[in-house]
Amino acid sequence: MDENKLKASLKTIDKWEWNAQTTIHDDVPILLPAIEEKEGRAWSRTMIVASTIVLIGAGLWFYSSTKNPAFTGKSLFTKHADFPPGRYQATLTLANGKTIPLQNDNSGVVVDASELSYYDGSNVDVTDHLSRSGTITTPRGGQYRITLPDGTNVWLNSASSLSFSLVPGKKQTRIVTLSGEAYFEVAKDSHRLFIVKTASQEVEVLGTHFNISSYAEEGATKTTLISGSLRVVNRSSKIEGMLKRGQQSIVVKDILTVAPVDVKNVMSWKEGYFQFSEHQDFSETMAKVARWYNVKIKYEGDMRDVSFTGKVSRFQNLSFLLEKIASEGQLKFQVDKDLITVIRQ
């Protein structure tokens, strides 16, 4: 094995990531013996490499078995079924109250000239005549994508809903109403404003990319601008704020604030993982976990200074996620049916 390749493969990995099968932490020392470059030492170098790999493997086993010897994520689910990740699922509700379950094997629908079709080209089975408006709702543990008549793409997160027009109108504004969380890629149209309404604010754009999180239980509406520009209006106080790329507005009651934000943290759900960060409240991330796996979470102990840095795939079972968190040694978990108790150690 080339020496440089060996050294590169043995670099210390500071934190864990969702697809890492083995994690090497700072407190597991990696010792590389000196390797001489003289001729005739090939057998010695081979033995050194082999010995080093064995020692590292032993060190990793010792670390994982002593830091949290009793815990594996799967062991929590010996009496209860593990929780699979969420999936594509949603329901369309028409203005007349008729509900239409959308197929789970399709990731989204296209709304075009009063017709609905899935992304694979098949038609949505709608027996009644389409009314002029509709609402797509995702349950806890679901997500879906919608392409609106003007070409705007919307990614809808768990426990969210989007109300919109089913036919392209000729008005000067394009209006949708959001509850929950969604990412928007608004089609540019210099003649028609695009407005997103939530319970506490309105967002006005011509064409841009942004994310809005507006869950009622969180008490705040957060709008994050990915590209372009937009205007946020507090519906209660009428206070306005202009966002630039990489900024986030937070609306709480009559207050509106604007500040820079880590866009990667905000967009992690759309990119397919949970992001744990020192700059994000642990319970806030766990609320996203609860919605995605359709579980309830309660806490025992003070969680205010609990902090992790890492990411875990949204498409692993819940046991995988809990195992990653518990391996850091700060927390342990108890499972009772769909209730996950987080306990500070």
Give me the pLDDT at residue 128, please: 60
How much helix, strand and coil, in percent to the nearest 5, is found in the chain?
20, 35, 45
Residue 196 and residue 234 in one domain: yes
Total domain count, the chain: 3
Residuewise pLDDT in 10s, the chain (345 residues): 444 444 444 333 334 444 433 232 333 232 223 323 334 444 444 444 444 433 334 333 333 333 443 344 456 666 667 999 999 999 999 888 889 999 888 899 998 766 788 998 888 877 665 667 889 999 999 999 999 988 999 999 999 999 998 765 566 789 999 999 999 999 998 888 999 999 999 999 988 999 999 999 999 999 999 999 999 999 999 999 999 999 999 999 999 999 999 999 999 999 999 999 887 888 999 999 999 999 999 999 888 888 888 899 999 999 999 998 988 888 999 998 899 999 998
Residue 150 and residue 237 in one domain: yes
Give me the pLDDT at residue 87, please: 95
Q: Is 256 exposed, middle or buried (0-12, 13-18, 19+ CB in 10 A)?
A: buried
* CATH number of the domain bearing residue 335: 3.55.50.30
Residue 94 and residue 188 in one domain: yes
Residue 120 and residue 161 in one domain: yes
Cβ contacts of 48-57, under 8 Å, gap ≥ 24: 49/1, 49/6, 52/10, 55/31, 56/10, 56/24, 56/30
Give me the pLDDT at residue 211, please: 98
Give me the pLDDT at residue 165, please: 83
Residue 95 and residue 48 in one domain: no
Give me the pLDDT at residue 321, please: 93
Residue 244 and residue 289 in one domain: no
Residue 142 and residue 61 in one domain: no
- Separation CA 224–CA 117 (nearest Å): 30
- Separation CA 28–CA 34 (nearest Å): 19
Enclosing domain of residue 45: 3-67
Residue 42 and residue 135 in one domain: no
Residue 339 and residue 282 in one domain: yes
The kind and range of the H/E element at 6 are helix 3-9
Question: 15, 37, 67 — which closes off a domain?
Answer: 67
Give me the pLDDT at residue 201, please: 97
